[in-house]
Amino acid sequence: MKTLLYLILSIALFSCQNMEVKNLAADTVDDYNKLLADKPLVLVDFSATWCPPCKQLSPILDEVALEKKGDVEIVKIDVDFYPIISEAMKVDGIPSMFLYKNGEVIWQHVGLITKEELNSLVESNQ
């Protein structure tokens, strides 16, 4: 019984660790822009569940979100669920990342990036 309880607690704690990275809560491009407008620093990751590089990037984003909590908000957008927003942002390769500062794009990148590079990016734009 104790083993089962520990297993359940471990799973619950592990799944809560990724809560710092948010999924998109916007249905239109206007909603997307409003989501970014009042935030000092937001990193948006356009990805898909079937994309191997996106799967590699996901734990890196989770770690950066935990380590830089309060400094940057990280939002994931699945291109398959939000094609209109992806098209409006001209996403033609994934993973694609956009860093916004006060609603303006200040950096973008397509492909994998290291945790160290992301941490440095956040630190240099605070």
Which residues have a catalytic role annotated? 51, 54
Closest among 77, 74, 89 to 29, alpha carbons compared = 89
Sort residue 70 into left (φ over 0), alpha (ψ -120 to 50) or beta.
left
B/e letters for 63-89, b = 16+ CB within 10 Å, e = fewer, are bbbeebeeebbbbbbbbeebeebbeeb
